């Protein structure tokens, strides 16, 4: 076993990734813009490798190239740090509110955020939920188009961003038993936006009924969504809505206010 502090076995490293990160790290406050040769020299790599790395980073959106042939970082790099910090803080803000949602009405409460074409569950509180079908845990990804949390977020995205997300391929699209056609999804999202919440029986065949409300920032951008789940056989959809909607909406608003006060979550 490799001891801490010892160099990693070279066979376990991706040298090209290492060089790409060195190129990113070469940009500093003192060097916000560089030519190809300057970037190569700062990163300690040859010009040919720097050319390939920079072109790749430009294609991925982390670096931009001006008409003067100088390269500079984009705000997408900043987003990485904001997302890491923001999601950690979001979990801390959401946890006590999720606990308050679990009880007689629902047996699980969750917070999810958009992660590419998927919803990433960043916090979840359960109270004796029977395991039926897929087991949702913190860190689970499900396709945004299939889940109620996904619908609560997608419905409030700007049109262009929503279309970009819908054009992406989910990581685990095979999980959903029910697939929404584009016209059906469009109708569902329009309804969610009108009523400011999403509710349906789970598309994953686990016998759950789920209600979710978006966590909107001051500009109405969906940072996340809060959901509660209960066995569909326990009560009618109307009764579940009557009991769960107001507490879920209140929790979503409380999280939004806390995020605004803390100023740590980026809506980018």
CA distances from 148 to 26, 109, 220, 225 (A): 42, 12, 19, 9
- The band of 133, judged by pLDDT with boundaries at 50, 70 and 90, is very low
Domain range 78-262, CATH class:
alpha beta
pTM: predicted TM-score of the whole model, two decimal places: 0.64
3-class SS at 224? strand
Average model confidence (pLDDT) across the chain: 83
Report, at the CATH architecture level, how domain 13-73 is classified.
Answer: Orthogonal Bundle (1.10)
Alpha carbon distance 219, 234 (integer Å): 37
Q: What is the per-residue pLDDT for 172?
A: 62
| Neighbouring residues of 83: CB distance < 8 A, sequence distance ≥ 6 | 266
What pLDDT is recorded for position 135?
62
| pLDDT value at 191 more than 70 | yes
DSSP letter for 170, please.
P
Query: Per residue in 205-233, pLDDT tens?
Result: 667 899 999 999 888 999 999 999 988 88
Q: Is the pLDDT of residue 36 over 90?
A: yes
Instruction: Name the one residue in this structure whose structure tokens are 């769960």.
Output: 244
Residue 125: the pLDDT is: 86
pLDDT at 263: 60
Q: Kindly give, in sequence order, each residue whose CB lies less than 8 Å from that of residue 78, ignoring residues fewer than 6 positions away.
A: 266, 268
Q: Give the confidence band of 124 by pLDDT, cuts at 50, 70, 90.
A: confident
Q: Highest-confidence range of 124-133, 200-209, 220-229, by mean pLDDT?
A: 220-229
All structural domains of the chain with their residue ranges:
13-73, 78-262
Six-digit token string for 72:
């500079």
With residue 71 as reference, give the H or E element that holds it.
Answer: strand 71-73
What average pLDDT does range 98-127 have in this prediction?
A: 87
Q: Average of pLDDT values for 166-173?
A: 77
Highest mean pLDDT among 7-11, 137-141, 250-254: 250-254
């Amino acid at each position: 076993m490799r001891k801490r502090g010892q160099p990693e076995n070279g066979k376990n490293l991706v040298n090209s990734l290492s060089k790409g990160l060195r190129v990113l790290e070469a940009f500093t406050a003192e060097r916000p813009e560089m030519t190809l040769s300057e970037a190569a020299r700062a990163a300690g790599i040859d010009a040919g490798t720097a050319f390939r790395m920079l072109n790749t980073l430009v294609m991925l959106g982390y670096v931009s190239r001006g008409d003067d042939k100088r390269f500079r970082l984009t705000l997408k790099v900043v987003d990485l740090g904001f997302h890491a910090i923001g999601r950690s803080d979001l979990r801390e803000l959401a946890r006590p509110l999720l606990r308050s949602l679990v009880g007689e009405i629902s047996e699980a409460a969750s917070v999810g955020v958009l992660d590419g074409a998927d919803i990433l569950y960043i916090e979840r509180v359960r109270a004796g939920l029977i395991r039926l079908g897929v087991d949702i845990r913190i860190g689970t990804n499900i396709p945004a188009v299939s889940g109620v949390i996904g619908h609560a977020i997608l419905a409030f995205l700007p049109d262009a961003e929503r279309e970009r997300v819908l054009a992406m391929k989910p990581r685990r699209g095979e999980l959903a038993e029910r697939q929404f056609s584009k016209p059906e999804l469009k109708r569902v999202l329009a309804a969610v936006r009108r009523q400011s919440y999403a509710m349906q029986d789970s598309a994953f065949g686990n016998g759950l009924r789920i209600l979710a409300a978006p966590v909107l920032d001051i500009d109405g951008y969906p940072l996340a969504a809060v959901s509660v789940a209960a066995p569909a056989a326990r009560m009618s959809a109307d009764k579940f809505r009557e009991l769960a909607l107001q507490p879920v909406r209140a929790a979503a608003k409380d999280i939004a206010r806390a995020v605004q006060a803390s100023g740590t979550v980026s809506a980018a």
